[in-house]
């Protein structure tokens, strides 16, 4: 090997082909600016509830510092199985149908690597979380984007899925409630998509990390639909629901053979998720209900403030039914997503994430997370309102029709509410 | 109504307009509910939680266990009223267990509190005994940690 050869040329072309996350680029800019109110944070502002932290400290005192089974602590897998049974009526065998992963991120990577063969196509809705496409590419697969627009509430449709299928299509990735749009999928649309998936013999990898953070209607887990459990890998974790992002603990649930295949990779590359985090996760599932409900209620109140604030300042904003993000359209300012984010940061010291970081269909939008205090949110909106007004956006006039989310409310519930 | 109270209990400075948005209600409705709650004395007062030590003010707080003789007809209430009417009494509870009343008394210094206990509290008819405990340090009050070392350590931007 020639010593003068540069490292970048030696890097695997697949790795070279994937870009740095658009968020990363923006991150450096934000950290250099003092006094910023950040709406760019993709994690809860709550610190992990004390009872969970305390349980973790106790586990350390008791000397739980060893490896666990490759699958993860059986006690945690059993707690997850019980939770899935009670909340979704899904029955998974904790012995071999649940794998504890290092966050959903690892679960996603394992699922892709265990399934994707070179050239296989994976359908990925867009805008969506930054990791999906790179994970597909690194497994040798090809990403086929399913772009969505505000008119449809950023939902993909069954026709769109069907039209994108080729003989090489193997997987449909689902990611609802969605980061960055906050979109929640309604049951009817999911039923139609499930029909296409069954007819065309696809598999589903469903990242449902925000499932408990659903504010309008009820979350529908794709695995609960007829004939879907056996063709779905369900990914979930503790980061968002229990404010445990830094603990890095998640899980995959699905067919025993397939979970076994994922576990095979996991056993050689990760061995097991950290026992400390797993012990904390057990406590979260056993006693975390009330604290979680409190957080969900708080997010929902902020969500309503946020939607109101954007419409007040004249930015069309689709009502997010879940997660903790709003995705207002900013093209009325005449700026691109990146320009908007950069100028807003420089002029008003408010950080948001450019929508195009989540795929090209996110262009014209920015992601604002409301994981910050009401006080900070209010100040951030005062600054943003000033910023967009200076660019000719008329307050209190939303010209574009923003779709409502009444499709999320079942007719019976609507009557009761009325 | 419960939700309005919860929101105000955590931040009394939020306007009726903001609360209305947070609960998907009309501002006028929230104003009406709050007025009603104030009238019914469900909402007693809007106050500020102050860390006086940090403000440089010397104050002492004592918890006084008081045993009393309950009276026919009024039970503990009549004696209790004679005690809680004193402005020095910050809060007071009727307790189960070894004593009857837990009386929190605030003063400028220990001497002032002792004087109050000796000359006012202990001499009330029906008071059998008092045991005074001075507070050395307050860590948490009304759900708020006074010196909370936990701050926002999140990255400014994350996916």
Q: What pLDDT sits at residue A406? A: 86
Residue A119 reports pLDDT greater than 90: yes
* Chain A contact present for B58, CB below 8 A: no
CB A121 within 8 A of CB A170: yes
Stated as kind and residue range, the H or E segment containing B89 is: strand B89-94
Position with higher pLDDT, A335 vs A1:
A335
What are the DSSP calls for B20-32, one per residue?
Answer: HHHTT--HHHHHH
In 3D, which of A86, A112, A91, A89 has the Cα closest to residue A101?
Answer: A112
Is it the case that residue B124 has pLDDT exceeding 80?
Answer: yes
Asked whether this complex has an ipTM greater than 0.90, the answer is: no
**Is B159–A30 a contact, with Cβ atoms under 8 angstroms apart?**
no
Tell me which of A177-191, A269-283, A347-361, B143-157 is least confident.
B143-157
Q: Which of A324, A337, A322, A315 is nearest to A377 (CA)?
A: A324
Question: At a CB cut-off of 8 Å and minimum separation 6, what does B55 contact?
Answer: none
Scanning A94-246, the segments in alpha helix (DSSP H) are: 103-115, 132-138, 158-164, 187-199
Distance between CA atoms of A307 and B16, rounded to whole angstroms?
17
Using CB atoms, pick whichever of B11, B22, B156 lies closest to residue A31. B156
Distance to chain B for A226, nearest Cα, Å: 33
pLDDT digits (tens, 9 = 90+) for B18-36: 999 999 999 999 999 999 9
- From the list B11, B24, B158, the residue facing A43 with the nearest CB is B158
Domain ranges of chain B: 2-39, 60-137
Is A31 in Cβ contact with B159 (below 8 Å)?
no
* Sign of the alpha-carbon torsion through B139, B144, B148, B150: positive
Q: Which residues are CB-contacts of A311 (< 8 A; sequence separation ≥ 6)?
A: A317, A396, A398, A402
Distance CA A64, CA A49 (A): 20
- Return the beta strands (E) in A158-305 as ranges: 169-174, 203-207, 232-237, 250-253
H/E element, A264? helix A256-269
Spell B10-29 as b/e; 16+ CB within 10 A means b.
Answer: eeeebebebbbbbbeeeeee
Rounded distance between C-alpha atoms, residue A189 and residue A193, angstroms: 6
Rounded to a whole number of angstroms, the CA Rg of chain A reads 22
The pLDDT confidence band at residue A413, using thresholds 50, 70 and 90, is low
- Per the DSSP assignment, residues forming a β-bridge with A304 are none
**What is the share, in percent, of chain B residues with pLDDT greater than 90?**
89
Q: How far apart are CA A304 and CA B18, in angstroms?
A: 10
Q: Which residues of B touch A376 (CB under 8 A)?
A: none
What tokens appear for A47 in the block? 């610190």
Q: What mean pLDDT comes out for the span A154-167?
A: 98
Residue with tokens 């007025």: B35
Q: Give the helix/strand (H/E) hosting A99.
A: strand A98-101
DSSP one-letter string for A151-164 = GGTT---HHHHHHH
Please tell me the predicted confidence (pLDDT) of residue B99.
97
Place of tokens 């193997």: A170
pLDDT > 60? residue A416: no
The whole-model pTM stands at: 0.92
Please report which helix (H) or strand (E) contains residue B93, including its range: strand B89-94
A45, A304, A326: best to mutate for the B interface, most B CBs within 10 A: A304
List the structure tokens of B140.
């948490």
Q: Among all residues of chain B, which has the CA nearest to that of A374?
A: B14
B7: contact with A, CB 8 A cutoff: yes
Tokens of A227: 């004939």
C-alpha to C-alpha distance for A370 and A287, rounded to whole angstroms = 26
Q: How many CA atoms lie within 13 A of A246 on its CB side?
A: 9
For position A415, what pLDDT does the model report? 47
Q: Does B159 touch chain A (CB under 8 A)?
A: yes
Q: What is the number of alpha carbons within 13 Å of residue A48 lying toward its C-beta?
A: 21
pLDDT score at A41? 93
The mean per-residue pLDDT over the stretch A291-296 comes to 96
B152 touches chain A (CB under 8 A): yes
Q: Token pair of B106, please?
A: 């605030």
When mean pLDDT is compared across A23-32, A338-347, A351-360, B121-130, the lowest value belongs to: A23-32
Chain A hits for B159, CB-CB cut-off 8 Å, are 21, 23, 42, 129-131, 179, 357
Query: A98 near A236, Cβ under 8 Å?
Result: no
Q: What percent of chain A shows pLDDT beyond 70?
A: 96
Chain A residue numbers with beta carbons less than 8 Å from the beta carbon of B157 are: 23, 26-27, 30, 38, 40-41, 351, 353
Short-list A256, A259, A205, CA closest to A233: A205
User: What domains can be seen in chain A, in order of their start residue?
Assistant: 17-47+291-412 (3.90.1150.10), 50-288 (3.40.640.10)
Show residues of chain B in contact with A374, CB under 8 Å.
11, 14, 18
pLDDT of the residue at A1: 52
The third-level CATH classification (topology) of the domain covering B60-137 is Alpha-Beta Plaits (3.30.70)
- The pair of structure tokens assigned to A102 is 């290092």
**Number of helical H runs and strand E runs in chain B:** 5, 6
pLDDT tens for each residue of A219-262? 999 999 999 999 999 999 999 999 999 999 999 999 999 999 99
Which DSSP string corresponds to A368-402? EE--S-HHHHHHHHHHHHHHHHTTTPPTT---SPP
Contact residues, chain A, for B23 at CB < 8 Å: 301, 304
Q: Is B10 on the interface with A (CB under 8 A)?
A: no
What is the gyration radius of the CA atoms in chain B, in angstroms?
21
List, for residues A76-107, the tens digit of each pLDDT value: 999 999 999 999 999 999 999 999 999 999 99
Hey, how many other C-beta atoms are within 10 angstroms of the C-beta on A138? 17
Chain A within 8 Å of B49 (Cβ-Cβ)?
no
**Who among B22, B152, B159 is closest to A21 (CB)?**
B159
| pLDDT over 80 at B41, yes or no | yes
**In this structure, are strands A98-101 and A250-253 parallel, antiparallel, or unpaired?**
antiparallel
> pLDDT tens digit string along A20-51?
887 777 788 888 888 899 999 999 999 999 99
Closest CA to A24 of B157, B58, B123, B140: B157
State whether A302 and B7 contact (CB < 8 Å).
no
- As a whole number of angstroms, the distance between CA B67 and CA B132 comes to 12
> Strand locations in A279-408, DSSP E?
325-326, 350-351, 353-354, 366-369
In this predicted structure, what is the pLDDT of residue A3? 61
Tell me what the pLDDT averaged over chain A comes to.
Answer: 94
Query: Is the Cβ pair A304, B159 closer than 8 Å?
Result: no
- C-alpha B84 chain-centroid distance: 13
Determine the 3-state secondary structure of A209 from DSSP. Answer: coil
Mutate which of B155, B157, B158 to disrupt the A interface (most A C-beta within 10 Å)?
B157
A396 — pLDDT class (breaks 50, 70, 90): confident
Average pLDDT, chain B: 95
Among A40, A129, A357, whose Cβ lies nearest the Cβ of B156?
Answer: A40
- What is the number of helices (H) and of strands (E) in chain A? 15, 12
Contacts with B18 from chain A: Cβ below 8 Å: 305, 374, 378
Chain A with chain B: Cβ pairs closer than 8 A: 54
Residues in B closer than 8 angstroms to A308, CB to CB, are 21
Inter-chain touch A36–B14, beta carbons under 8 Å: no
């Amino acid at each position: 090997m020639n010593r003068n050869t540069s490292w970048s040329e030696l890097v695997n072309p697949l790795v070279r082909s994937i870009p740095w996350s658009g968020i990363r680029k923006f991150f450096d800019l934000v950290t250099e600016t003092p006094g910023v109110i950040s709406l760019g944070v993709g994690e809860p502002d709550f610190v992990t509830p004390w009872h969970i932290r305390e349980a973790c400290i106790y586990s350390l005192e008791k000397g739980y510092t060893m490896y666990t089974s490759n699958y993860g602590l059986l006690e945690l897998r059993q707690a997850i199985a019980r939770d899935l049974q009670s909340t979704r009526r899904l029955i998974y065998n904790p012995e071999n149908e649940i794998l504890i992963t290092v966050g959903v991120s690892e679960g996603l990577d394992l699922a892709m690597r265990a399934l994707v063969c070179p050239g296989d196509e994976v359908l990925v809705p867009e805008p969506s979380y930054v990791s999906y496409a790179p994970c597909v590419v690194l497994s040798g697969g090809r990403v086929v984007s399913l772009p969505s627009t505000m008119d449809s509430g950023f939902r993909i449709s069954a026709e769109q899925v069907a039209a994108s299928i080729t003989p090489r299509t193997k997987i449909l990735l689902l990611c609802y409630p969605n980061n960055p749009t906050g979109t929640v999928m309604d049951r009817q649309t999911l039923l139609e998509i499930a029909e296409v998936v069954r007819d065309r013999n696809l598999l589903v990898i469903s990242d449902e990390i925000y499932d408990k953070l659903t504010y309008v209607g009820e979350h529908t887990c794709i695995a609960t639909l007829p004939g879907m459990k056996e063709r779905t890998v369900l990914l979930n974790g503790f980061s968002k629901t229990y404010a445990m992002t830094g603990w890095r603990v998640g899980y995959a649930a699905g067919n025993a053979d397939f979970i076994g295949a994922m576990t095979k990779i996991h056993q050689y590359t990760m061995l097991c998720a950290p026992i400390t985090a797993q012990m904390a996760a057990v406590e979260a599932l056993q006693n975390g209900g009330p604290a979680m409900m409190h957080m969900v209620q708080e997010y929902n109140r902020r969500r309503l403030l946020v939607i109101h604030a954007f419409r007040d300042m004249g930015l069309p904003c689709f009502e997010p039914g879940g997660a903790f993000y709003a995705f207002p359209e900013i093209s009325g300012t005449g700026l691109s997503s990146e320009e908007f984010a950069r100028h807003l940061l420089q002029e008003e010291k408010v950080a948001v994430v450019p929508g195009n970081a989540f795929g090209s269909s996110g262009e014209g939008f920015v992601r604002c997370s409301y994981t910050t205090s009401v006080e900070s949110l209010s100040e951030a909106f005062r600054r943003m309102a000033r910023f967009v007004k200076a660019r000719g956006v008329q307050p209190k006039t939303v010209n574009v029709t923003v779709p409502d989310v009444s499709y999320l409310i079942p007719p019976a519930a609507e009557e009761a509410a009325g | 109504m419960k939700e309005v109270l919860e929101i105000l209990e955590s931040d009394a400075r939020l306007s009726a307009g903001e609360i209305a948005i947070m609960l998907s209600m009309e501002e006028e409705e929230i104003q009406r509910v709050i007025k009603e709650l104030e009238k019914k004395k469900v909402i007693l007062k809007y106050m500020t939680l102050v860390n006086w030590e940090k403000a440089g003010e010397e104050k002492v707080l004592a918890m006084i266990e008081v045993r009393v003789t309950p009276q026919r007809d009024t039970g503990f209430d009549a004696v209790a009223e004679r005690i809680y009417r004193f402005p020095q009494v910050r809060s007071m509870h009727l307790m189960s267990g070894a004593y009857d009343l837990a009386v929190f008394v605030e003063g400028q210094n220990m001497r002032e509190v002792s004087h109050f206990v000796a000359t006012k509290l202990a001499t009330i008819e029906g008071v059998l005994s008092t045991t005074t405990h001075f507070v050395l340090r307050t860590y948490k009050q009304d759900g708020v940690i006074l010196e909370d070392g936990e701050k926002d350590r999140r990255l400014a931007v994350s996916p």
